[in-house]
Amino acid sequence: MLTTFYYIDLYNKQQQNQPETEREYFMRMAREMKQARILKKRQARKEHIKAIFAAALNLFKSKPVANTNSVYGH
């Protein structure tokens, strides 16, 4: 059983020394672009949620009133 793992490890080491093929390059670039799109969408969603919370917080803020007459419209 241990020899099987040794052969697998040896095979993987040989694979690391080989240059990347054109297909592997394009597949890696596609994965990286997909991850970049996911991160961009996640960041946009986070900014949108922050904006919603900021707008909701501004609804509950009250400004100080100089005197009580202005509150009642006098």
From the first residue on, what is the mean pLDDT of each consecutive set of 10 residues in the chain (74 residues)?
Answer: 59 70 91 96 97 90 67 59
pLDDT value, residue 45: 97
Residues 36 and 45: their CA atoms lie apart, in Å, by: 14
Query: Is 28 part of a structural domain of the chain?
Result: yes
Which amino acid does the sequence have at 37? R
Query: Is 9 part of a structural domain of the chain?
Result: no
Query: Is 66 part of a structural domain of the chain?
Result: no
pLDDT value, residue 59: 86
Domain that holds residue 36: 21-59
pLDDT value, residue 19: 80
- Answer yes or no: are the C-beta atoms of 20 and 28 closer than 8 Å: yes
- Number of structural domains (the chain) is 1
Query: Is 2 part of a structural domain of the chain?
Result: no
- Answer yes or no: are the C-beta atoms of 71 and 65 closer than 8 Å: yes
Query: Is 74 part of a structural domain of the chain?
Result: no
pLDDT value, residue 62: 72
